[in-house]
Amino acid sequence: MSELLRPDLCIIGGGSAGLTVAAAAAQFGVPVVLIERGPMGGDCLNSGCVPSKSLLAAGKRAQAMRDAGLFGIEPVEPKIDYAALHDRIHGVITAIAPNDSVERFTALGVRVIQDEARFIDKRTVQAGDIKIKARRFIIATGSSPAVPDIPGLSTTPYLTNESIFELTEKVSHLIVLGAGPVGLELAQAYRRLGAHVTVLDRARPLSQMDEEAARVVQRSLEDERIVIHSEASVAKVESAGSGVKVHFEKGGEAMDIEGSHLLVATGRKPNIESLDLKKAKIRTTDQGIKVNKRLKTRNGRVYAIGDVTGPPQFTHMASHHAELVLRNAVFRLRPSLDLTKVPRTLYTDPEVAEIGLTEEQARKHSGMRILRWPYADNDRAQAEGETEGFIKVFTDRNGYILGCVIAGAEAGELIAFWALAIARNSKVGDVAGLIFPYPTLSELAKRAAITYYRPLLRKPYLQRIAAWLRKLG
Residues that bind ligand NAD (CB under 6 A): 148, 177-183, 185, 200-203, 207-208, 234, 265-268, 311-314, 345-347
Give the integer Cα–Cα distance in Å for 114 and 111: 10
Q: If we measure between CA atoms, which residue out of 17, 24, 181, 432 comes closest to residue 8?
A: 24
* Least CB distance to ligand NAD at residue 313 (A): 4
* Least CB distance to ligand FAD at residue 305 (A): 7
* Contacted by 43, from ligand NAD, ligand FAD, none: CB < 5 to 8 Å by type: ligand FAD
Alpha carbon separation from 369 to 306, 361, 398, 404, 451 (Å, rounded): 33, 12, 10, 12, 10
Site string for ligand FAD, 312-331 (x = CB under 6 A): -xxxx-x-------------
Give the integer Cα–Cα distance in Å for 177 and 202: 9
232-240 β-sheet, strand order: 232-240, 243-250, 253-259
Distance of CA 339 to the CA centre of its chain: 14
Q: Closer to ligand NAD by CB, 63 or 143: give it.
A: 143
**Which residues, 336 to 355, sit near ligand FAD by CB under 6 A?**
347
Is 183 a binding residue for ligand FAD by CB under 6 A? The answer is no
Is 307 a binding residue for ligand FAD by CB under 6 A? The answer is yes
DSSP-based three-state secondary structure for 46: helix
In contact, 385 and 75? CB cutoff 8 Å? no
Distance of CA 327 to the CA centre of its chain: 24
* Least CB distance to ligand NAD at residue 225 (A): 21
Alpha carbon separation from 389 to 348, 376, 410 (Å, rounded): 13, 8, 11
* Contacted by 202, from ligand NAD, ligand FAD, none: CB < 5 to 8 Å by type: ligand NAD
- Point out which span in 10-18, 58-66, 78-86, 375-383 binds ligand FAD (CB under 6 A): 10-18
Q: Closer to ligand NAD by CB, 36 or 201: give it.
A: 201
Q: How far apart are the first and last CA of the chain?
A: 94
111-113 β-sheet, strand order: 111-113, 32-35, 9-12, 136-139, 302-304
* Least CB distance to ligand FAD at residue 289 (A): 11
* Contacted by 85, from ligand FAD, ligand NAD, none: CB < 5 to 8 Å by type: none
DSSP state of 202: S
* Least CB distance to ligand FAD at residue 52 (A): 4
Is 140 a binding residue for ligand FAD by CB under 6 A? The answer is yes
Interface positions with ligand FAD (CB under 6 A)? 12-18, 35-38, 42-44, 48-49, 52-53, 116-117, 140-143, 161, 182, 271, 274-275, 306-307, 313-316, 318, 347
